[in-house]
C-alpha cells in the first residue's frame, strides 16, 4: 500500500512515517522543503501518483486568523489532487473541540479543514486529539502576562503525542471510518495546574494565575471545551509519569 504523509517531516508526521515503514508499507514523506506544497499545489500530483492513502498532518505556521486561510487553501488543493489521483482513504489529524470553540481562530481553521474533508466525497477518517503533553510549554508561552502567566482554569485532557501517533497509524492502515473518532489522555486537569507543574519542572518560578476568563489562543474555555467525549480512545501514558521521565537526570 502506498501511503503519502503530507507534513511528513513534522513533530507528528516524522514518527508516523517511521511506524508505517516499520509495518512494511511504502511511505512517501512530503514537505515544502522536499518539493510538495499544499498551498501552492507544487508537487502534489507527482507525489500522489499511485497512492491509496493520504495522511494530512501538515500544520499552519501561526495560530491566528491566517491559519483559517492556510487550512482552507491547503485542504482544497490536497483534496482536489487526491480526487485526480483516485486516492481511496484520506486521514487527517484534528483537535477535540474544533466545533465548540469558535472564538479560537486555530480551532475554527481545523473545523474548516474537517468540513472540506466531509464534503470531498473521498472516503476519510478524522482523528481528533486533545492537546499533546509536549504542547503545554507553548500554552504557557502564549499566556505570559507581565511577570506572571495567566491561564484558563478549565479542564483539559492532554495526551502523550506518541500515543496519538500510534492511534493515527492504526487508523491509517484500517478501513475508512467515514467519520470522526477522538483520542485523549487518561486524566483531566485544570489547565493552569499543568502549566504550573511544567514550569516548575523546568525551574521556572513565575506565578501561574488560574483565571476563568484567561483566553486560550483567543477563546475563553469551559470544562467541556477541550475534553474528549464518551467513546474516545484513551492514551496509556499518565502526565505525572511523563513529566518525571522528562525531568529526571
Ligand atoms: N499540538 C497539539 O497539541 C495538537 C493536538 C491535536 C492535533 N494537532 C494537529 O497535529 C497536526 C500536526 O502537528 P505537528 O505539531 O506535527 O506540526 P509541525 O511539527 O509544525 O509539522 C508541520 C508539518 O507540515 C509541513 N507543512 C508546513 N506548511 C506546509 C505546506 N504549505 N504544504 C505542505 N506541508 C506543509 C511542515 O513542513 P516543513 O517542516 O518543511 O515546514 C511539517 O512537515 C496539525 O494539523 C495540528 O493541528 C496538534
* Confidence band of 248 (pLDDT split at 50, 70, 90): confident
pLDDT (average), residues 117-130: 98
Distances from the Cα of 115 to the Cα of 98, 196, 212, angstroms: 11, 36, 30
- What integer pLDDT is reported at residue 249 of this predicted model? 74
CA 148 – CA 206 distance, rounded (Å) = 5
Q: Give the model confidence (pLDDT) of 190-217 as tens digits.
A: 999 999 999 999 999 999 999 999 999 9
121 Cα: distance to centroid of ligand 1 (angstroms): 24
**Cα gap 171→153, rounded to integer Å:** 33
User: Given this model, what pLDDT does residue 168 score?
Assistant: 98
Output the CA 6–ligand 1 centroid distance in Å.
9
Looking at residue 186, what DSSP letter applies?
S
Mutate to test the pocket of ligand 1, among 6, 57, 67, 136 (most ligand atoms within 8 A of CB): 57
**Percent of the chain's residues with pLDDT above 90:** 98
Atom of ligand 1 nearest to the CA of 13: 16
Contact 48, 23 (CB under 8 A): no
What is the structure's pLDDT at 149? 97
| Residues in the ligand 1 pocket, defined by CB under 6 Å | 6-7, 9-13, 31-33, 37-39, 57-59, 93, 95, 110, 129, 131-132, 135
Nearest to 13 by CA among 170, 168, 232: 168
Give the residue, by CA position, lying nearest to ligand 1 atom 12: 57
Query: Could you report the per-residue pLDDT of 52-108, keeping only the tens digit for each?
Result: 999 999 999 999 999 999 999 999 999 999 999 999 999 999 999 999 999 999 999
- Side-chain-side CA neighbours of 82 within 13 Å: the count stands at 28
Smallest CA-to-CA distance from 116 within 126, 106, 129 is with 126
Q: Name the strand (E) or helix (H) holding 194.
A: helix 191-201
pLDDT in tens, 11-40: 999 999 999 999 999 999 999 999 999 999
Cα separation, 236 vs 179, in Å, equals: 23
Nearest CA owner, ligand 1 atom 18: 10
Is 29 within 8 Å of 3 (Cβ atoms)? no
Per-residue confidence (pLDDT) for residue 203, from 0 to 100: 93
The rounded mean pLDDT for the chain is 97
Q: What is the mean pLDDT of residues 146-171?
A: 97
Q: How far is ligand 1, taken at its centre, from the CA of residue 142, in Å?
A: 18
Distance 58 CA to ligand 1 centre (A): 4
What pTM was computed for the model?
0.97
pLDDT range class, residue 43, cuts 50, 70, 90: very high
At 247, is the pLDDT very low, low, confident or very high (cuts 50, 70, 90)? Answer: confident
Amino acid at each position: 500500500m502506498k501511503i503519502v504523509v503530507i507534513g511528513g517531516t513534522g513533530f507528528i508526521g516524522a514518527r508516523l512515517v517511521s511506524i508505517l515503514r516499520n509495518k512494511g508499507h511504502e511511505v512517501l514523506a512530503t514537505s515544502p522543503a522536499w518539493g510538495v506544497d499544499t498551498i501552492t499545489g507544487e508537487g502534489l500530483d507527482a507525489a500522489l501518483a499511485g497512492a491509496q492513502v493520504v495522511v494530512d498532518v501538515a500544520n499552519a505556521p501561526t495560530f491566528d486568523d491566517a491559519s483559517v486561510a492556510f487550512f482552507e487553501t491547503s485542504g482544497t488543493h490536497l483534496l482536489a489532487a487526491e480526487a485526480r489521483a483516485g486516492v481511496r482513504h484520506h486521514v487527517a489529524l484534528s483537535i477535540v473541540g474544533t466545533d465548540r470553540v469558535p472564538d479560537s481562530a486555530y480551532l475554527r481553521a481545523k473545523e474548516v479543514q474537517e468540513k472540506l474533508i466531509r464534503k470531498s466525497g473521498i472516503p476519510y477518517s478524522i482523528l481528533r486529539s486533545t492537546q499533546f503533553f509536549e504542547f503545554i510549554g507553548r500554552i504557557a508561552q502564549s499566556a505570559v502576562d507581565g511577570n506572571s502567566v495567566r491561564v484558563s482554569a478549565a479542564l483539559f485532557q492532554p495526551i502523550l503525542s506518541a500515543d496519538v501517533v500510534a492511534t493515527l497509524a492504526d487508523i491509517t492502515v484500517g478501513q475508512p471510518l467515514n467519520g470522526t473518532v477522538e483520542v485523549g489522555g487518561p486524566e483531566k486537569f485544570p489547565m493552569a495546574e499543568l502549566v504550573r507543574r511544567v514550569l516548575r519542572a523546568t525551574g521556572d518560578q513565575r506565578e501561574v494565575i488560574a483565571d476563568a476568563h484567561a483566553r486560550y489562543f483567543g477563546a475563553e474555555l469551559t470544562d467541556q471545551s477541550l475534553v474528549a467525549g464518551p467513546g474516545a480512545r484513551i492514551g496509556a501514558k499518565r502526565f505525572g509519569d511523563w513529566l518525571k521521565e522528562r525531568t529526571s537526570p
